[in-house]
């Protein structure tokens, strides 16, 4: 966390100009941090052109660097599990504990570094050099399916499908408590003004508007229960930051291993929060449907077995990519 006090000489200055000057970065980097919600003025989310007042405090959570310096370096020796690939799209199986892309200049060990080593064209795709073609993100500890585009047109199409709620994402989640019946929560999510690392489900419409909460719906069904824990299958068509984690916590069933949202301790043999992106069904950028599935990592499957919980089968689509009657498999 970095913080600056607005002096009398800076009264009336635009936030993006102030931040660029104080942090010694470009205005583009400052604007990007503001747009991503990493910048607060007196604890409240701010606009890039917002005029500042003397005495206000400007805070930034996380790195504040120009995007070009964050572009992932190819890591040809890093493992990369390709679920399927064609000429415009790649679906990967992300392991738990691996960041999707760099957050600091020179950071290694990211999925993006492994991706651009095998599919170098992905490095030029997206709105930000660090994205390396990824059309969405998974948290570091979340495993499973993640999509990347090999062309800018495909990335634009996938991002549009995500924004419009036309992508179905399904997860396996191990949660605290016994869940006896299917359920769900329809509650907008906003950044927690007291802790930038978290999001909160906001029930009051006035408060939701004040915090800039975004509509979010999560549905779930119980699959098995043992030892005071339940294995759920959760589904979302929106994709907010920490959506499944925050909604399950708001429903009183935080993820096992999710200390940020009040979950019980992680399992010894499966560290981190227990969340797996099992399946994604999306419109294919070239027409038809893309359907990608990822098996539960062996360590997590073994942890469930030790608890006496059966790992449910993951049904796969007959053709991973259905396009004018033609299927395309792994690349």
Count Cβ neighbours within 10 Å for each residue of 32-52 and write b for 16 or more, e otherwise: bbbeebbbbbeeebbebebeb
Q: What is the mean pLDDT of residues 301-316?
A: 82
Q: What is the predicted pLDDT for the residue at 174?
A: 98
On whether residue 298 sits in a domain, the answer given is yes
* CA distance linking residue 74 with residue 71, whole number of Å: 9
- 49 and 11 inside one domain: yes
**Is 139 one of the annotated active-site residues of the chain?**
yes
Decide which of 116, 131, 164 is a domain's last residue.
164
- 13 and 130 inside one domain: no
Share of the chain above pLDDT 90, in %: 63
Range of the domain at 117: 68-164
Q: What is the predicted pLDDT for the residue at 319?
A: 54
- Residue 326's pLDDT band, with cuts at 50, 70 and 90, is very low
Q: How far is CA 221 from CA 51, 170, 171, 309, in A?
A: 47, 11, 11, 15
Which CATH number covers residue 81?
A: 3.30.2350.10
Mean of per-residue pLDDT scores for the chain? 88
On whether residue 295 sits in a domain, the answer given is yes
How many structural domains comprise the chain? 3
On whether residue 279 sits in a domain, the answer given is yes
Q: What is the mean pLDDT of residues 24-30?
A: 78
Residue 236 scores a pLDDT above 50: yes
Residue 202 scores a pLDDT above 90: yes
The encoded tokens of residue 330 equal 């792994």
313: CB partners within 8 A, 6+ apart: none
Q: What is the mean pLDDT of residues 155-184?
A: 95
Tell me the per-residue pLDDT of 137-148, one tens digit each, with 9 for 90 and over: 999 999 999 999
* CA distance linking residue 262 with residue 141, whole number of Å: 16
The catalytic position among 10, 86, 93, 139 is 139
- 199 and 271 inside one domain: yes
pTM: 0.79
On whether residue 329 sits in a domain, the answer given is no
Which CATH number covers residue 12?
A: 3.10.290.10
Q: What is the mean pLDDT of residues 315-325?
A: 48
- 269 and 182 inside one domain: yes
């Amino acid at each position: 966390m970095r913080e600056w006090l607005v002096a009398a000489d800076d009264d009336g200055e635009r936030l993006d100009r102030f931040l660029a000057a104080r942090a010694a970065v470009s205005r583009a980097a400052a604007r990007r941090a503001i747009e991503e919600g990493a910048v607060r003025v007196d604890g409240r989310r701010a606009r890039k052109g917002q005029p500042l007042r003397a005495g206000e405090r400007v805070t930034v959570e996380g790195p504040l660097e120009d995007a070009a310096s964050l572009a992932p370096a190819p890591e040809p020796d890093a493992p990369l599990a390709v679920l399927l690939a064609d000429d415009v799209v790649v679906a990967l199986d992300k392991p738990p504990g691996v960041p999707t892309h760099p957050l600091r200049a020179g950071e290694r060990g990211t999925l993006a570094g492994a991706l651009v080593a095998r599919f170098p064209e992905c490095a030029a795709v997206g709105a930000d050099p660090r994205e390396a073609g990824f059309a969405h993100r998974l948290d570091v500890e979340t495993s499973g399916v993640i999509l990347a585009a090999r062309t800018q047109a495909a990335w634009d199409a996938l991002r549009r499908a995500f924004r419009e709620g036309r992508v179905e994402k399904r997860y396996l989640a191990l949660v605290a408590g016994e869940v006896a019946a299917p359920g769900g929560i329809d509650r907008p999510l906003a950044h927690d003004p007291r802790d930038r690392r978290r999001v909160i489900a906001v029930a009051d419409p006035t408060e939701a508007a004040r915090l800039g909460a975004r509509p979010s719906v999560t549905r779930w069904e119980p699959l098995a229960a043992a030892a005071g824990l339940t294995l759920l299958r959760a589904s979302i068509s929106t994709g907010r930051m920490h959506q499944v984690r925050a909604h399950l916590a708001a429903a009183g069933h935080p993820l096992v291993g999710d200390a940020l949202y009040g979950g019980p301790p992680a399992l010894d043999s499966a560290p981190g929060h227990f969340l797996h992106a099992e399946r994604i069904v999306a419109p294919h950028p070239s027409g038809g449907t893309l359907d990608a599935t990822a098996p539960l990592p062996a360590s997590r499957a073994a942890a469930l077995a030790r608890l006496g919980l059966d790992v449910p089968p993951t049904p796969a689509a007959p053709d991973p990519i259905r396009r004018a009657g033609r299927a395309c498999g792994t690349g």
